[in-house]
A and B are shown apart, each in its own frame.
Chain A
């Protein structure tokens, strides 16, 4: 193997357990919420042979949606906490591009992703600056979806958490508008999921740093010389 330019790679523990747990709980919640939410918005005919007292499937679908929504919300709160308690890759600073360096990397990643130009620069090992920023926008949609969802839920609940969001309804002009926006925001999650999963595969493909499996084991791989340079 004379021609080999083999470089030693080191294993870096990037995603700590709380981050991975958050990711997969979040993913499962979103899938469940999209499916149940879509059914609630547009119920299909399952069976009409039985009488109302013999079945409760639509109620069950709604129940799953509500329970999942609570899990989704608290899971998100845990992630926010971890943004202040976790390691450098999990820190909140990764999500908000405040430094010039982050903005440069955003442009660089856009060049790599869209123009498919070969990157001369090294892209961050954790979230790249663009991904981090997109996740930040996603977090805002999480909050929007939680606020509108809980606002809609508040009229059938006497618990305090949904009650915190009743102000959303007059602000948006009534339940109908809130439902409409809540429904539209669902499509954001659908589109996000498609692009997110693809870009994970893509970056793994072109960077070869174990992006895909990192969310399982937590490790990413980086060339020794790059790590030493830092």
Chain B
């Protein structure tokens, strides 16, 4: 058995950082995890006493945009959290080892730190045809996942692929790409987005480091802190929505004025994410700020809810360019036409009946008899 990793504080001191640097890092981390000023002591204590948790980062059916996003987190500087404070034992993209050595790193970590390591999963798992569509080191993604999840202290699903399947699970989902929470029987923290915001990713990891437990999750397994509100409700263009000021086409005056992109198919009102709060790339901007509607990349099945530039999705089974409104209009007109035809038929065929009704009636003057 390998000894426990040193604490984060100890490893920082060993690298020549000062106590002041350490406290500064703790403040960053506390801010990210949404801790109040009074809770800073908890963070400091955690990093002083808890060993650096080893991390296994798996890559399955994905494009590595999650990793790309993660290494662009603004604070704490990614190099710090990833290489200094976490102990990243296995990740195909960034590790130095290759081939059998790489796989050995993973197996060693699983063995030596059973029940202690954090498992981060990027990408979905193909379940069709025994998972031949994603094999690493001769093993299927599914078996690697099951094996690695066994002894994990916490499992995080990075991005929409691992959380809800993303593009490879879009219809017709040829490889039966499956999000990981449907495969392993352990609580999974879903951090959806294509990619998720780097700062959100570091914040989730920070939470686990500091508190040693899962952040509060919503009904879809997403941390409430970052996925509790709609992009729409925190959008700086929201006042234009309430005022009914909308962009009508991409090149009109309204677009230039920065009006609401609702009519251009913006998915802000149906998307839960922190984009309009934390923004992207060190809080530089986010899609809507750049003049493009939200495509709802952190929402379940967003690829099948297209086109992106249309408020209502195409209705499945009726060919392209058919929305609920098209169907409703056709059925509505059909009903009106049917009713009109029925009324005409009634008047033709019920003449006799109406005559009888007349016979049953009395005239005011004559009376019944």
**A55, A58, A156: most-surrounded residue (chain B CB, <10 A):** A58
Binding site for A on B (CB under 8 A): 219-220, 229-230, 233, 239-246, 248, 253-254, 262-263, 267, 269-272, 296, 299-302, 305, 311-313, 315, 324-325, 327-329, 331-332, 335-336, 339, 342-343, 345-346, 349-350, 353-354, 357, 359-363, 366-369
A208 interface contact, C-beta 8 A: yes
Which residues of A lie under 8 Å from residue B305 when comparing CB positions? 176-177, 180
**A4, A116, A167: most-surrounded residue (chain B CB, <10 A):** A4
Instruction: Give the A-B pair count, Cβ closer than 8 A.
Output: 154
Which residues of A lie under 8 Å from residue B369 when comparing CB positions? 1-2, 4
A32 interface contact, C-beta 8 A: no
Extra A-B contacts (18), CB below 8 Å, given A4-B369, A43-B246, A205-B354: A1-B366, A4-B362, A52-B239, A54-B243, A57-B244, A59-B241, A61-B244, A116-B350, A155-B229, A169-B219, A174-B270, A177-B301, A184-B324, A187-B332, A191-B328, A191-B335, A202-B346, A206-B354
Q: How far is the CB of A91 from chain B (nearest CB, A)?
A: 29
- Beta-carbon contact of A173 and B301 below 8 Å: yes
Interface string of A23-56 (1 = CB under 8 A from B): 0000000000000000001110110101111111
Q: Which of A123-179 contact B (CB under 8 A)?
A: 155-156, 166-167, 169-170, 173-179
- Beta-carbon contact of A52 and B219 below 8 Å: no
A183 interface contact, C-beta 8 A: yes
Q: Which of B299, B328, B329 contacts A174 (CB 8 A)?
A: B299
Q: What are 10 contact pairs spanning A and B, CB under 8 A?
A: A2-B369, A4-B361, A4-B368, A56-B243, A116-B346, A174-B270, A175-B272, A179-B270, A194-B339, A205-B350
Which residues of B lie under 8 Å from residue A230 when comparing CB positions? none
A198 interface contact, C-beta 8 A: yes
- Beta-carbon contact of B343 and A59 below 8 Å: no
